[in-house]
Amino acid sequence: MTLSVHNLSITRGGIRVLEQVSFVLAAGEALVLRGPNGIGKTTLLRTIAGLQPPLDGEISVAPDTLVYAGHADGLKSTLTVEENLSFWAQIFGQGDIAPAMDSFDLGALRTRPAGLLSAGQKRRLGLARLLVTGRAIWILDEPTVSLDTRAVEMFAQVIRTHLGQGGATLMATHIDLGLDQANTLDLTPFRASANQLDDFDEAFL
């Protein structure tokens, strides 16, 4: 249940943004990525989630242990809260959505179409999806956007429980969630030197 990243280099739009990124994320740990805008946090998370190939380096993780949550929540506005959530539960082969609803206090909203939710409520629903996947390693991109303080506390509690059950979390966020087990990784030292181009374009320069 370990995610280890070794000498990873990634590109965005054909330009190398980060290189030689290495870290190990063990069960029960949380790792928070930091760094200025545009350094490549989202790209790194998408690469680890398998949405784009790395330029170089290795990502080793057991199959079917990752779940990714990006900027968009992937909600269907005409489906109700319950329908949205149980869809993802079925996709990931899980049954019960009640614990996830309770953790994010969505019980009162269960029959409301997702299109009528506020931004914060949508985000809570998006995060509740993580609980119904049954996956151990959560890859989260700015999970606390548009959450109020109460909801952030709710989210921190969910993370604590998840880590306590042997899960792990890799996230990019600027908010301090007050997690005891959280390590921080600053990406600034990994910024690609002189913004190298990828191999092909390099051949001309």
What distance in Å separates the CA atoms of residue 184 and residue 197, rounded to the nearest whole number? 28
Q: Which of 8, 21, 55, 66 binds another protein (CB under 8 A)?
A: 66
Per CB under 8 A, 74 contacts another protein: yes
The amino acid sitting at 63 is P
Q: Is 93 exposed, middle or buried (0-12, 13-18, 19+ CB in 10 A)?
A: exposed
Per CB under 8 A, 14 contacts another protein: yes
Tell me the closest approach of the beta carbon of residue 157 to another protein, in angstroms: 23
Q: Per residue in 6-35, is it b (16+ CB within 10 Å) or e — as a string?
A: eebbbbbeeebbbbebeeebeeebbbbbeb
What distance in Å separates the CA atoms of residue 116 and residue 124, rounded to the nearest whole number? 14
What distance in Å separates the CA atoms of residue 86 and residue 14, rounded to the nearest whole number? 38
Tell me the closest approach of the beta carbon of residue 178 to another protein, in angstroms: 28
Per CB under 8 A, 120 contacts another protein: no
Nearer to another protein, 74 or 99 (CB): 74
Q: Which stretch binds another protein (CB under 8 A): 12-20, 96-104, 159-167, 174-182?
A: 12-20
Tell me the closest approach of the beta carbon of residue 91 to another protein, in angstroms: 5
Nearer to another protein, 66 or 136 (CB): 66
Relative to beta strand 3-12, strand 56-60 is antiparallel
Calculated CA dihedral for residues 122, 123, 125, 128, nearest 10 degrees: 180
CB 4 within 8 A of CB 61: yes
Tell me the closest approach of the beta carbon of residue 142 to another protein, in angstroms: 13
Per CB under 8 A, 19 contacts another protein: no
What distance in Å separates the CA atoms of residue 118 and residue 116, rounded to the nearest whole number? 7
Tell me the closest approach of the beta carbon of residue 17 to another protein, in angstroms: 9
Contact string 75-114 vs another protein (x = CB under 8 A): xxxxx---x---xx-xxxx---------------------
Positions in the binding site for another protein (CB under 8 A) = 13-15, 46, 49-53, 64, 66-79, 83, 87-88, 90-93, 129, 194-195, 197, 200-201, 203-205
